[in-house]
Amino acid sequence: MITRNLVNNCLNTKYEDIPQEVILHAKKSILNWMGVAIGAAYHPSVEMLISLKNDLQSSEQVSILGRREKADLLLSTLINGMSSHIFDYDDTHLDTIHHPSGPVAPVCFALAEKFNLSGKQVLRAFILGVEAELRISNAVCPSHYDLGWHITSTAGVFGAAVAAGILLELDEEQMLNALGLAGTQAFGLREMFGTMTKPFHPGKAAENGLLAALLAQKGFTSSKQVLEAKRGFANVTAPEHDLEQVNINWGTQWETLKNAFKPYACGIVLHPAIDACIALGKQVSDPSQVKEIEITVNPYVLELTAKPEPKTGLEGKFSIFHTGAMAFLEGDASEEQYQDAKVLDPKTLAFRTKIKPVVNESFEEDEAVAKLTTVDGKVYEYKVEHATGSIENPMTDEALCNKFRKVVKGILGSDSTEAIIAKLYDLDSVANINEVIPYCTPQTATV
């Protein structure tokens, strides 16, 4: 009954049942997602999919954010989901290291654009999709993630299916079939981190979830107990799980509110170390005076980011050595600090050997201590209890909007940028999502 209860909870939750604070947080999540999706719209991996789109002669149904091209419903969903994760700058549910908007938001906007749906419809579908995927993540974490599954994709496909099912107005039986179809398409291996395939995961989860709902709408059948069955999702992919987490406190506990936004363009587990190294860089201005920087972190940091010699910008996002060096040397960890040239810069290569990560099992994911020792023996220490961007130390609205402006600069004009910000903060008043979409399209070729 776990899967059926989830379906009933989603179908029976009306827009009016959702607290205003959840709706506001969803608007911020969508703004953050759209910004990073547009910002990566001309990445080489996106260009490859655009080339494939042309080869396949994909029909131009809905928009590819940040570009003038359009694609069919499924392919555009794949591209918009992938682009939003390319910079590793998207949102994060820290409890499960899950990036919830990437698999869900592209589905909502593709369907809303095609069928002229309202902002309220998008918000309801987005929130319920995110709520479903994060609750499923809670149920299978940490064993599922520890086994090597990329949970953003494997759980995200369920969120995509729920969001699509809501917007397509599926009934209970159709939604059950959609979740079964989604679950059998759950995939994504952590082995792919540091390559183009990692951001491909949430894009494919979005596409697969949408496909599941579209097939279910036509009567395609599947298992109706995909989450709890003996050979279902939880039992096959998570040695330890607690499926009670899927439906517990529905309507009173909102996982959406735990969705955090990143000030830095890399995995959120690195953010505490970045904060600490930036702070130390303000205390010791001469890099040549640094003997070493010992950074004490949560175990997940080295599990995910222990690459000592990254060769590309993407690999640099999974290297505490490169990230710590950039944070100290340049006082930031934006997309600029993860260009290939930065990773291969001799000054970076020399300094990252001074970064010495140490694991402390008792540290929380958003906690770190950095201790800098100079060549003449002086010691400087900085402790981060809650990293910038965490739920306990969140980005302000101003910072979130400035992040949006920064990532879309060079693709969208300032008028379009400000129009998107205004409309997304007022999304519940938007009668047709096509009031927003035109602003996401460059008026002239950009790159």
In this model, does residue 303 exceed pLDDT 60? yes
Q: Would you place residue 447 in the very low, low, confident or very high pLDDT band (cuts 50, 70, 90)?
A: very low
Superfamily of domain 268-384: 2-methylcitrate dehydratase PrpD (3.30.1330.120)
Task: Report CA-CA distances (Å) from 166 to 21, 163, 375, 433.
Answer: 21, 5, 61, 16
CA triple 413-414-420, angle to 5 deg: 95
Cα(342)–Cα(18) distance, rounded to whole angstroms?
45
Say how many CA atoms lie within 13 Å of 440 toward its Cβ. 30
What are the pLDDT digits (tens) for 155-172?
999 999 999 999 999 999
In this model, does residue 106 exceed pLDDT 70? yes
Cβ neighbours, 10 Å, residue 330: 15
* The dihedral sign for the CA sequence 168, 174, 180, 184: negative
Mean pLDDT, rounded, for 88-104: 95
Q: Would you place residue 366 in the very low, low, confident or very high pLDDT band (cuts 50, 70, 90)?
A: confident
Give residue 128's pLDDT.
Answer: 98
Query: For the chain, percent helix, then strand, then coil, each to nearest 5?
Result: 60, 10, 35
In this model, does residue 393 exceed pLDDT 90? yes
Backbone angles phi, psi at 357, to 5 degrees: -75, 145
Give residue 203's pLDDT.
Answer: 98
Cα(322)–Cα(9) distance, rounded to whole angstroms?
45
Give residue 444's pLDDT.
Answer: 60
Mean pLDDT, rounded, for 360-386: 96
Residue type present at position 371: K
Mean pLDDT across the chain, nearest whole number? Answer: 96
In this model, does residue 217 exceed pLDDT 70? yes
Q: Would you place residue 194 in the very low, low, confident or very high pLDDT band (cuts 50, 70, 90)?
A: confident
The fold of 2-261+395-440 is: 2-methylcitrate dehydratase PrpD (1.10.4100)
Residues ≥6 apart with Cβ < 8 Å to 211? 74, 181, 185
Give residue 98's pLDDT.
Answer: 96
One fold for both 2-261+395-440 and 268-384?
no
In this model, does residue 446 exceed pLDDT 70? no
**Out of 11-20, 139-148, 299-308, which region has the weakest mean confidence (pLDDT)?**
299-308
Give residue 387's pLDDT.
Answer: 93
Q: pTM (2 decimals)?
A: 0.91
- 293's enclosing H/E stretch is strand 290-297
Cα(266)–Cα(285) distance, rounded to whole angstroms?
24
Mean pLDDT, rounded, for 373-400: 95
In this model, does residue 445 exceed pLDDT 80? no
What are the pLDDT digits (tens) for 234-293?
999 999 999 999 999 999 999 999 999 999 999 889 999 999 999 999 999 999 999 999
Question: What is the distance, to the nearest Å, from the Cα of residue 97 to the centroid of all Cα atoms in its chain?
Answer: 9
Mean pLDDT, rounded, for 337-359: 96
Give residue 268's pLDDT.
Answer: 86
In this model, does residue 295 exceed pLDDT 80? yes
**Out of 126-135, 170-179, 390-399, which region has the weakest mean confidence (pLDDT)?**
390-399
Sequence spans of domains, the chain: 2-261+395-440, 268-384
* The dihedral sign for the CA sequence 69, 75, 81, 83: negative
Q: Would you place residue 365 in the very low, low, confident or very high pLDDT band (cuts 50, 70, 90)?
A: confident
Give residue 267's pLDDT.
Answer: 85
